[in-house]
A and B are shown apart, each in its own frame.
Chain A
Amino acid sequence: MRVFNRVKASRKILIAAVALTTTAGLSIVASSGSAVASTSKKIGGSVSIWAEWTSTEQQDFKAVLQPFEDSTGITVHYTGKGSNMDTALDAAVAGGSPPAVALVPDPGTLNTLAKKHAIQPLASVIGNEAKNYGSAWTSLATYKKKLYGVWFKGANKNTVYYNPAVFAAAGITSTPTTWTALLADEKTIANGGTYAPVSLCTDIGWPVADLFQNLFVKLNGAAAYNQLAAHTMKWSNSDVTNTFAEMAALVGTGGSNLLGGMKGALADGSFPSCVTGVFPSSGSPTAAMVFEADFVTTSVPSKYTPGSGKSCTLSATASPCYDTFNFPAPSASAYAGDIQGSGDVAMLLKSSRQSKALIKYLASPSAASIWANLGGFVSPNKKVPLGAYPDTVARADAKALTSAKAFVFSLDDLQVGWEPQLWADMLNVLQDPSASNVTTVEALMDKQATTALGH
């Protein structure tokens, strides 16, 4: 697949190249020209950078780095760590040979490293580019009032991916905008008998946590969410219990709304294989929807075109499509506009002319625009023009992320010390949503959170 992705990546780069020469791309060229010009004196030398991106994403990120290397003469050594990013960085810091710059997927690591003085404050490095980010993002990269990170990549988790042809086959003509409508559509699809409503990603529990978090913020709002994240709200709070109940309704009794039932969801729910049920690379889909953040796009086979319409087919080899809708909120919710997401934050571990130039470049809209153009990427950077995104799906996604009324960061990523236990607890409730089990697990979660966070 890594190899398949590479084929896809080169195709994407080609598209990007074409886009850059068209009018839509001109603004990007203009802006990137100016940003690069500010660091245009050839500096030379080299700089190392780590991030979790491998395969397609690695290719895309290298495309981002290319103009920087060309204009500054700095050679950038990029290493994609995949799921080992945390491990590798922890060990590298402990081992005394960290990269100059690292992008991590959670503010928890940023805080830990800042506490250890393993990373450098950035205010003086990036200057005005700091203003490109909304306050929610800035505060997530701040430790003891100092800015330590640049949110290069965002992830909007307020998305539901669906196969338009499956919706059409079930007779659903418009995507659900409310929670009730979503549950009704699930029933319609189930009644059709051919497709499962949902292919649920379970993995080691993080996708279930994402699902829970989406529901929680929509039901209870960002303020309550942040209290729960800080454990100033207890897990045994009725807000949590209600959210679990909604989650159980979505999943259906015994997982009746899930592809393969509960068993199937647990067996084949690792990410990204859960995406293949909805967007298979051969044959026909078996499920209609999959809930996860916008990075799902990267796992949708290249045959699929973004958007919906009459021309979308059920066959993976004819003209299949993919599309998204916003994760629906309960109809009367005052918090429908609150969204959950995550991102990758760039940190400076070794200070040098080269590494500072690289950090500054990553904070610029031009760097983000390049990847935006390649797809599967959203930037929290407000200065990145919507025109930089290649299609309507991506544009809607980016707009949702930068214009959200309230933005909250993935709660599990903030639970340093007990995150894996939280995931296990989520899987536990998923499998047994009975009131008695929910009570038991909530008590357990409070205990775990207290042990890990000290309160």
Chain B
Amino acid sequence: MTSIAAEGPRVAAPRGSHRRGWWRRNWVSLAFLAPGIIWLLAIVVYPTIATIRFSVYDETATKFVGLHNFASVFSTDAILTAFKNNIIWVLVFPFFVTFIGLMVAVLTERIRWATAFKTIIVMPIVFSTTASALVWRTIFDLDPHIGVVNAIEQTVSDWFATPGAYPLNSSIGQSAASLASFNATGGPGGTLVTKSLVHPGGTVMMGLTRVSAVTLQTLGATTPVAPKKMAGGIAGLVWNDFSPLQTSNTTTIVSDEHGLPNLRLSLVSSTGSSVGSTVTNSSGNFSFTHVAQGSYHVEILGSNFQTAFVGTFWLGSQSVTPTSGLDQTAQSLLSVPLIDLAMIISYIWIWAGFAMVLIGAGLASLNREVLEAAEIDGATEWQTLRRVTIPMLAPVLTVVFVTMVINVLKVFDIILNMAPGSSQGPATTLALSIYNDGFTGGIHSGLASAIAVILFLLVVPAMLWNLKKIKG
């Protein structure tokens, strides 16, 4: 085998043998490199060039179309949406993941259970994005019995606004007025008020609909009883005016209907002031006694209908920025779908460990004396972090940041697996568009290749920057 020590006499060597000598010295080294180079040329370099070529040809890859495919990229709303989403990812994700990585890396130095902590944070990196997306899909589920985020929201929301006995379903846009069936109409503040006036000694009946049988069962509702007149007082009934036996009958009591228990009522005088209050019993009956002469309305208080919590549709495409009044193209460019934020949170969960490990190592290599000197100098921890640690860590932080930029330019499987069908389109990214246009529903190889080329051009500067940093 060759070795430097075994080189022949250099001075007198003719040109040809010099070259032969070069081969002799280096052929083993080149043979070591060959498998890698061949592999890369065949499966990475050649296909990349082929894709660039496809991007200027038509769908059948036979006709040169110049920049036509690129023009369609920028005139197709769906692809503009993909661009927009990639921009959101790039603006939000790398910053937060680096910041969180820095924070936990700095703080971990202070605890005894650092190893356990780091393990916990790093673990998600080894999960497939497919599995992680699945987990987070359940965490953000709309149903508070499934999604832990909405369950927490529900608990908090119930503290501030306890749902009434007959909570409105705001997910289908219910209002108190939409429950009114007989002798009831929507009043101020989400109340229901009798249409007719009632006087002492008289009776009043109010029919409601759209009350769930499950609610009635829970409240122990019984068959309604027609109210009986009482001297000097007002007797009445509020009942669920819906019977499967007589669906068209909406004025009288039918045998299988139910009274509405636990309704808080108020008696309102003609001047609009409340002169008494009561609560319905299990058959929906109520009475106001010792009522002064005059004419009154009965009011069902709004608190009875206090809306039950409806989950936040975290995985939906509704925009967190206002988009009303914008045309289609402006909308696809300016809306920030909520699911993007949910997915970014999930992705931070996956990648923060990566940032933490890198930054942690950077910290470990810092000059301790400088840090200690700063602290002893009386700088607060925050000042030390901001003035000393972060500047010293700058190279590492940049590397983490840029690596994450590159990562999210290519973000793909979290969207495919986390977004419900209706959000797939609004949450799409460039990488996902390449897959969808290139491999599903009829190959658009020209268009997909054009997107791929654009993605490539976006990734290159970030990567070069990173490599320069790493080298320097």
Q: Which residues of A contact B (CB under 8 A)?
A: 86-87, 90-91, 94, 108-109, 112, 168-172, 188, 190-194, 196, 202-205, 252-258, 260-264, 266-271, 416-417, 419-421, 423-424, 427, 440-441, 444, 451
Does B164 reach chain A (CB closer than 8 Å)?
no
A267 to B441, CA, bound (A): 24
Q: Is the CB of B316 within 8 A of A90?
A: no
**Contact of B171 (CB < 8 Å), options: A202, A263, A269, A421:** A263
Q: Is the CB of B313 within 8 A of A266?
A: yes
B306-323 vs A, Cβ < 8 Å mask (1 yes, 0 no) = 000011010111000000
| Chain A binder among B238-246, B371-379, B407-415 | B238-246
B49-91 vs A, Cβ < 8 Å mask (1 yes, 0 no) = 0000000000000000000000010001110000000000000
Known: A170-B244, A171-B244, A261-B169. A112 touches B425 (CB 8 A): no
Q: Which residues of B sit under 8 angstroms from A172, Cβ to Cβ?
A: 247
**Contact of B442 (CB < 8 Å), options: A108, A253, A254:** A108
Known: A193-B209, A194-B213. A270 touches B443 (CB 8 A): no
**Contact of A109 (CB < 8 Å), options: B171, B210, B247, B442:** B442
Q: Contact size class for B?
A: 35 or more
Closest chain A residue to B72, Cβ basis = A451
Interface centre among B210, B313, B315, B442, by most A CB within 10 Å?
A: B442
A202 to B423, CA, bound (A): 10
Q: Is the CB of A267 within 8 A of B313?
A: yes
Q: Which residues of B contact A (CB under 8 A)?
A: 72, 76-78, 141-143, 169, 171-174, 181, 209-215, 240, 242-247, 310-311, 313, 315-317, 327-328, 420-426, 436, 439-444
Task: Name the prevailing secondary structure of the B interface residues.
Answer: loop
Q: Which residues of B sit under 8 angstroms from A87, Cβ to Cβ?
A: 439-441
Q: Is the CB of B142 within 8 A of A260?
A: yes
Identify 4 new A-B residue pairs, CB closer than 8 A, beyond the known A87-B440, A192-B213, A193-B211: A87-B441, A260-B172, A261-B169, A261-B172
Closest chain B residue to A274, Cβ basis = B421
Interchain Cβ contacts under 8 Å between A and B, 5 examples? A170-B244, A171-B244, A193-B209, A204-B425, A261-B173
Closest chain A residue to B214, Cβ basis = A194
**Contact of B247 (CB < 8 Å), options: A86, A170, A203:** A170
Interface centre among B316, B422, B443, B444, by most A CB within 10 Å?
A: B422
Q: Which residues of A sit under 8 angstroms from B422, Cβ to Cβ?
A: 202-205, 266-267, 269, 427
Q: Which residues of A sit under 8 angstroms from B244, Cβ to Cβ?
A: 168-171, 192
A90 to B171, CA, bound (A): 42
Q: Is the CB of A420 within 8 A of B313?
A: no
Q: Which residues of A sit under 8 angstroms from B209, Cβ to Cβ?
A: 191-193
**Contact of A191 (CB < 8 Å), options: B173, B210, B245, B310:** B210
Give A295 Cβ to nearest chain B Cβ, in Å.
17
Q: Is the CB of B242 within 8 A of A191?
A: yes
Give B423 Cβ to nearest chain A Cβ, in Å.
8
Q: Which 5 A-B pairs have the closest CB atoms?
A: A171-B244, A261-B171, A203-B421, A254-B173, A261-B172
